Amino acid sequence: MLRTNQIAVLVGLSLALWILATLYIRFLPDAFVDPFQGNLGFAASVPMAWLSVWLVRRAGRLEAAELVPGVAIVGAVAMMIDGAALRWSPGVYGDDPLAVRLGAAWLLWGYGLSLGLAYLMVARSLRHA
């Protein structure tokens, strides 16, 4: 079980990552609308998800058994913020509805990748233990 201080750090990290992703969507809409850039962005999400999981582990000072719950907390907080923002204030992501929709797809992809990679990292560490 994660300690209160770990959860607080992870919630803060979640907010910071949400802000960065939102700014990326807002100020670089072509990265989502352009077919080549959009595909490249999805591919580039794999190392970025790995980096995010690593950052969650370091910032939260998580043991291997705490990694998936820690990534789940970061993802859950960011997804709830995204859900509320997309419902009540989609303009925070930009003015182009297509860019906002494709940016939301990219966010979902990234959340899934991060959680999946965290699981694979833990499974791998358990196999080598």
Query: pTM of the entire structure?
Result: 0.94
Q: Could you state, in order of their start, the residue ranges of all structural domains in the chain?
A: 4-127
Residue 53: CB atoms within 10 Å = 26
- 78-129: pLDDT as tens digits: 999 999 999 999 999 999 999 999 999 999 999 999 999 999 999 998 888 6
- 63-86: pLDDT as tens digits: 999 999 999 999 999 999 999 999
Long-range contacts of 105-109 (CB under 8 A, 24+ apart): 106/25, 106/32, 106/38, 106/41, 106/42, 106/45, 107/21, 107/25, 107/78, 107/79, 107/82, 109/42, 109/45
